[in-house]
Chain A
Amino acid sequence: MDINIKKLGSFIKDAFDGLWFNRNVAIASVVIVMSSLCLFGAYIAISMNVDYISKQFRSQYAISAYLEKGTPDERVEEIREELNNISNIATINFISEDDALNYCKEMFGDDADFLNGLEEDNPLRASFDVTLKDLTKAGETKEAIEKIIDVSWAKNNQDFVTKILNITKSFKNGSFVLMLLFSLISVFIVSNTIKISVSARKEDIYTMRYVGATNDYIVCPFVIEGIIIGLIGALIGYIVVLIGYTYCYYMIAGYIESLVSIYKTHQLALLLFGCFILFGLIIGALGSVYSVKRYIKA
């Protein structure tokens, strides 16, 4: 296929002629692409935020497993090994007795004088601070760790965190299923819409063949038409999703900001833009190539 600028220009003109001629079908296709992309966008926004929220909880949330005083170094290493074998543990951080004391001093800052002299006879215990991969399994993981050493909970309340994470996770799964369902349906509808508009013009396709148009000349305008439909649908959908997201952000963020933060619109804008353009391009181009190929013989 040899395409130069002049040819491309004429394909684009042909595509716009076709879109204008079939403007009702074109508008319907744009609306369908747009709605399916809105669902797709909602899914991306939800799942990005779910991941973002769990990451925040994870970093706030650790299990501290305390060692007996005077545990020998070899035993410390053995315990580290055993912890390593627990699959849900993401990171393991060893805090020696001295480290623990230093943290305390840092915590009390200028008022830490009363801690002076404790270096000689440190009452604090060494610990392993572990973070988890999946916080919803914190209970089981805690039991596994308890089989090895004493465990005490750090910072957040486990039940509460687990509950929030479970809710967001099922939200994410639910939206995934919906997204999948609707994008399948919309791909189907879009390719059918394009198919209808192509078959309405199959006589034109035959005519072009009879007067000696090469396949490039017949197929390319249709593909460009599909791409234009996909891109316009993507752009409108993008704007709708950004406005919708911003609205939701201001509704939700106020209630939860003390607990966690969610992405601001501009932090998701680029990712959404990329996904939308790509998705729009693919739906439009594939739909039209697939529909027009059937009418081309030689």
Chain B
Amino acid sequence: MIYFENVTKQYANSDTFVLKDISFYVERGEFVFIIGGSGAGKSTITKLIIAEEKQTSGSIYVNDVNVAELKDKEIPAYRRSLGIVFQEFRLLSTKNIYDNIAFPLRIRGASNDEIEELVPQWLDLVRMTDKAYSMPSELSGGERQRAAIARAMVNNPSVLIADEPTGNLDPIITAEIMDYLRQINEMGTTILVVTHDPNVVNSMQKRVIELNDGYITRDMQRGGYTFGY
């Protein structure tokens, strides 16, 4: 599903390696946390996966796609095969919630019938039906993130990548969002969550990959934020 082999990454205008030697393999249906201190390279890993950045060496495969070898023209279609959730929600500010969730379907060229079937279904799943015609700026953080999850999932991607999805949310909303991610995972979607919230990691007891100084220092099948939890 997701395959990193001896990946290193050095940003263009910098002389240090952010990732020094990263290898891991995520199987279909897994739920994985990526943790580590600020600047450890967690977001860099998500950027490599979504083809926003290229690794300096090593190889990355996602769904058997060699990500670094994608041509510019192939990147949009590749990204549409992933679901992506961001810390800052990143809903399109000019569109209401319904149109935000419909957006990935529209850019894929889905039929109107399909849009009219799937969007209400997802609005319902994330309990946003009442707010379908609200603009993102009129919603709370938790509501925005629920809408963003629906948008990420509406094309039924095999992988959902979330970079600090609860970073801007309070503990109660965080628990709710994590519950959605758990449900989505139970329906079969592989999930990769970057976080530095110990409560989230401890409560879920899922696989944990910990980064430190460019290396993976821990990769546990079921674990907490630190050893012993």
Contact = CB atoms under 8 A, between A and B. Distances in A.
Interface residues of A, number: 23
A214 interface: yes
Interface in B156-208: none
Given A17-B95, A21-B93, A21-B94, A211 B75 contact: no
Interface string B68-110: 0000100111111110101000111111000100011011110
Contacts of A20: 94
B107 A201 contact: no
Contacts of A6: 109
Contacts of B81: 212
A201 B151 contact: no
Interface stretch (A139-147, A150-158, A202-210): A202-210
B77 A212 contact: yes
- Could you say which interface size class chain B belongs to? 20 to 34
A213 interface: yes
A21 to B, nearest CB: 4
A6 B113 CA distance: 13
A20 B135 CA distance: 12
Given A207-B92, A298-B75, A212 B80 contact: yes
A214 to B, nearest CB: 5
A254 to B, nearest CB: 53
A217 interface: yes
B114 interface: no
Contacts of B106: 10
Contacts of B72: 298
B50 interface: yes
Nearest to A298: B72
11 contacts: A201-B93, A203-B90, A207-B92, A208-B92, A210-B90, A211-B80, A211-B84, A212-B81, A212-B107, A213-B76, A213-B103
